[in-house]
Structure formats: C-alpha cells, structure tokens
Amino acid sequence: MTNHDVIIVGAGLSGLSIAHFLNKLRPDLELLLLEKSDRPGGAIQSLNIDGFLAEWGPHGFLDNIEESRELLDDLKLDGDIQKAPLRKFLRYICLNGRLKTIPQTPPKIILSDLLPLWAKLRLLGDLWRRPLPHEQTVADWATHRFGRSILPFADIILTGTYAGDIEKLSIDAAMPGLRKLEMEAGSVLRGAIRSQKNKVGNGMPSMVSFKMGMERLVIKLAADKNLVLNSEVKRLSKSDGLWRVDTNTGVYSARNLVVGLHINRALPLLNVLQTAPQLSVPEAMVANILLGFADDVKIPFGFGYLAPTSENRFALGALFPTHMFPGRAPEGMQSLEVLVGGIRNPHHFTLSDDDLIEAACSDLRQLMPLPEKPIYAKVIRPRIGIPQLEIGHARLQTYRETMENGFPGLFISGFGWEGIGANEMIKQAKRTAENLIRGSGGSRGPATVKGIYV
C-alpha cells in the first residue's frame, strides 16, 4: 500500500480542478485521483457524431467568475475557446404558446409587453418588502418579493439551471448570493443597484465553450494527472492518522482525502464514517434531443428558449448551438438541441427514441417554422442527474462542515453540495485546495452575488 499526500476521489470537473489548484499552489504534493468510470470528466462529455457536436451535460459556463477565468488562463486554451457574448445573443421565453425575447436591461423590461403595467409596478414592491428570515422555496420567496406574475421567469431561471421545481427548491441553498443581497440591502432591487454602483467594468459576460465541446476542458485538466481509471472507491476509513481508501483496483492510503463526488455518490461513503441526515437528494434527469436541419430553415437568432412549467409543454426548452458556437453541424446544416425531462417529467424517459423525437419536433414546430421532419435526429439520454438543493438542504451542508471539522484531513467538494454549475465547482475547488494546504476545512464558502442572466 503506497502512501500519498492527497487522494482525490472522483475525476469530474471538481476532482480535476482541485488537483489543478493543488498542483499550482503546492507542486511538491504527490496526488492520486481515483475515478470509477473509464474516462475522466463525469457529467461533462461531448458527443461527436455524424459531423455534429452536442453535449451530454453542460453546454458552457459564464466567464464572470474569477476562479474559472484563472483556470482557463492556466490551461492556455485560448485557441480552443469559443465565446458567445450574452449582449449579442437573444434568449427567449415561451409564453402563451409563443416565443418572446427576454429583455435584459431595466428600460427594456419597463417597455416590454411581457407583463401588464400593474405587474410591473408590483415588481417595485420589492423595495418595501421586508426580507423573511426563514428558509423559503424559490416560488414563495419570489412571490413575496415581486408578486406571482414573476413566477414564469423564476421558473425558467431554475429550469435552465436545475431543471428543477421552484415549489421545492430552496432559495437559500439554490441562490445564496441573491438571498445575501436581499438580506444585506433589505431588498433585491436596492441591493442590485448598490452592487451595480460598486461594479468594476460594465460588460455582460459571455458563455464559454470550446471548439471540441466542453469535454476539451476536462481532457486538458486530466492530461498531466496521476489518475487511475476504472477504480471505484468502495469504502473510506481512517486509522493512525492515515486515510485508507478501498477500491476494486486495490487499497490506497494518504494523509489527506478529498471526496470530489456528486453529493449522491458521496453521502453513502461518508455515512459509514458518521451517519448522514439523509442518503440522497432528488436528481433531475435531462435528455438532449439533437436535431439537424438544412441551413435555410429559420431558427430564431439567439441562444435558445425556455418554457416555464405553466406552459405545460413537452420540451423544457431548446438551445440553438449553430448561432452560439459555430462549427457544430456538417456543412449546409444547422443543429438544435431540445432539452426534455427535468424533475417534473421523469416519465418522458419511458418513451422510445422515436417517440421522444416525434414529441419534441411537434412541440417545437408550434414555436418556429420547422419542416415536418428533421434531416438528422439523435436522442442523448441522461447518465448523470442534476442534484436538487431543495428545502432542508442546509442540514446536508452542516453535516459536511461537521465531517470536515471532525475528521482532520478530510475535504468534501462537488456536484450538489453548494451549488450545481460548473463555475461553482471550480470556485469550490480552489477553496478546497486552499483549505487543504492550510489544513483546515469545515466552513461554507461565502455566498457570492452574481448577475442573473435569463
């Protein structure tokens, strides 16, 4: 049994980014990554098929987080990066069965016909509404602050990120930055105006991906790592100051152990060390239906659209990669990626591929002038679910802190503990690396106030 300085369990974006920041901060540390599957990257996987490029997981992330920009700079991926500026690309909401452009600036919101005048005035009610101290669902919180007419918009923000249910997701856990803004300023609008005043630079961020798709990021991160694939961690234990990690490929030991897993994969392993308040959180599965059309078909210009639950449509929304990231369809063609499923529609996955394609196409044909049949269609079924940070999630975050405090040398980071986006994973990864070097875990990261871009 060889002793390592650090063992990292899981080589998804979290585990790989933690290894990257540890290498950068302390190149002398000897690291070992253990990965259950036969490839690194976890939820990030790009599909290159018949001249199309599509994604199993994330399509990109915004370049508005310092840690992610640092990671990209370190990796020197400049020639591979594709950026789609939010300022340039329109986003749509499906309302009353029609696609409508989502206005992005306060004057455009005021002038838009998305809400009646009384509902726009009610948005300003936020300035006078006291923050409620207790944990609330996103739906209750948004209604309290802005009135019920905001719900379709809150719904699409949480559909576009969590594929989740705003009646169950916790505002405190899912959007801690927004909650912090509200609590500190007494109102979201007041907080937003203040943070706008303090902001350095005024540009809107861009969506970042890579010419080879998101997988380029994890391939590059994994390139120089000491990584054992097909190595599933079965049991964690600690004796004589050393962590013992039992896997199907052998037993490994280290002074420090990082559990960099999806929360639902981490909880059963941690529960053996100390009983967890629950062994899993709900997961939203999302399928991606890749459609190819001739390039004279008129797909609305922009990123894509999202449909709130109240619209009761088959698809959660669709992305227009041809506009965002060129080069993702064969010559003379363009692609559309339709997102299906989510926490509210798990039954959609019982449908055959043909039925899913038929239902998705007939849904989209009502929204844009698409031909009867696509030239190309492929169903990309989900393999990893998006963890839901629902009411009561704080219990799990407290458990994680207790574990890190009670077991020196243990660090826990990854999908679903403190957020779900790629940026959150990279941010937590840097903090985890710094904590490990300092020798102290056990604290939640500060909630950061980020812009919300629908």
Ligand X SMILES: Cc1cc2nc3c(=O)[nH]c(=O)nc-3n(C[C@H](O)[C@H](O)[C@H](O)COP(=O)(O)OP(=O)(O)OC[C@H]3O[C@@H](n4cnc5c(N)ncnc54)[C@H](O)[C@@H]3O)c2cc1C
Q: Smallest gap, in angstroms, from Cβ of residue 296 to ligand X?
A: 29
Residue 22 in contact with ligand X, rule: CB under 6 A: no
Nearest in space to 440 (alpha carbons), one of 413, 401, 414: 401
Nearest in space to 283 (alpha carbons), one of 258, 306, 262: 262
Q: Smallest gap, in angstroms, from Cβ of residue 34 to ligand X?
A: 5
Residue 420 in contact with ligand X, rule: CB under 6 A: yes
Residue 57 in contact with ligand X, rule: CB under 6 A: yes
- Please tell me the distance from the alpha carbon of residue 225 to that of residue 288, in angstroms, as a whole number: 31
Residue 221 in contact with ligand X, rule: CB under 6 A: no
Residue 13 in contact with ligand X, rule: CB under 6 A: yes
Q: Smallest gap, in angstroms, from Cβ of residue 198 to ligand X?
A: 25
Residue 9 in contact with ligand X, rule: CB under 6 A: yes
Which positions from 273 through 332 interact with ligand X, judged by CB under 6 A?
A: 286
Q: Give the three-class secondary structure for 22.
A: helix
Listed ranges 41-49, 98-106, 124-132, 194-202: which one lies at the site for ligand X (CB under 6 A):
41-49
Q: Which of 21, 61, 293, 314 binds ligand X (CB under 6 A)?
A: 61
Residue 32 in contact with ligand X, rule: CB under 6 A: no
Residue 10 in contact with ligand X, rule: CB under 6 A: yes
Q: Smallest gap, in angstroms, from Cβ of residue 308 to ligand X?
A: 18
Listed ranges 35-43, 82-90, 118-126, 140-148: which one lies at the site for ligand X (CB under 6 A):
35-43
Of 36 and 400, which has the nearer Cβ to ligand X? 36
Beta strands in 70-193 (DSSP E): 81-85, 91-95, 98-101
Helices (H) and strands (E) in the chain, counts: 15, 21
DSSP 31-72: EEEE-SSSSSBTT--EEEETTEEEESS---EES--HHHHHHH
* 316-349 per-residue burial string, b: 16 or more CB within 10 A, e: under 16: bbbbbbbbbbeebbeeebbbbbbbbbbbbbeebe
Q: Write the CB contacts of 345 (distance below 8 Å, at least 6 apart in sequence).
A: 316
Q: Smallest gap, in angstroms, from Cβ of residue 283 to ligand X?
A: 9
What is the 8-class DSSP label of residue 343?
Answer: T
Q: Smallest gap, in angstroms, from Cβ of residue 42 to ligand X?
A: 2
- For the record, the structure tokens of 290 come out as 């890749």
Of 190 and 238, which has the nearer Cβ to ligand X? 238
Residue 386 in contact with ligand X, rule: CB under 6 A: yes
Residue 259 in contact with ligand X, rule: CB under 6 A: no
Residue type, 111: L
Query: Is 16 in contact with 268 (CB distance < 8 Å)?
Result: no
Of 261 and 333, which has the nearer Cβ to ligand X? 261
Residue 72 in contact with ligand X, rule: CB under 6 A: no
Of 37 and 143, which has the nearer Cβ to ligand X? 37
- For the record, the structure tokens of 450 come out as 């980020």
Q: How many residues bind ligand X (CB under 6 A)?
A: 35
Pattern 232-251, ligand X, x by CB under 6 A? xx------------------
Alpha-carbon distances, residue 310 vs 150, 166, 364 (angstroms): 12, 12, 17
Nearest in space to 341 (alpha carbons), one of 159, 168, 93: 159
Of 57 and 147, which has the nearer Cβ to ligand X? 57
| Secondary-structure percent of the chain, ordered helix, strand, coil, rounded to 5 | 35, 25, 40
Q: Smallest gap, in angstroms, from Cβ of residue 161 to ligand X?
A: 7
DSSP 285-333: -EEEEEEEEETTS-PPSSSEEE--GGG--SEEEEE-HHHHSSSSS-TTE
Q: Smallest gap, in angstroms, from Cβ of residue 193 to ligand X?
A: 27
Residue 205 in contact with ligand X, rule: CB under 6 A: no
Q: Smallest gap, in angstroms, from Cβ of residue 351 to ligand X?
A: 18
Q: Which of 261, 307, 333, 367 binds ligand X (CB under 6 A)?
A: 261
Which positions from 133 through 192 interact with ligand X, judged by CB under 6 A?
A: none
In the chain the first and final C-alpha atoms are separated, in Å, by: 51
Q: Smallest gap, in angstroms, from Cβ of residue 406 to ligand X?
A: 21
Question: In the complex, which residues of this chain contact ligand X (CB under 6 A)?
Answer: 9-15, 34-37, 42-44, 57-59, 61, 232-233, 260-262, 265, 286, 382, 384, 386, 414-415, 420-423, 425
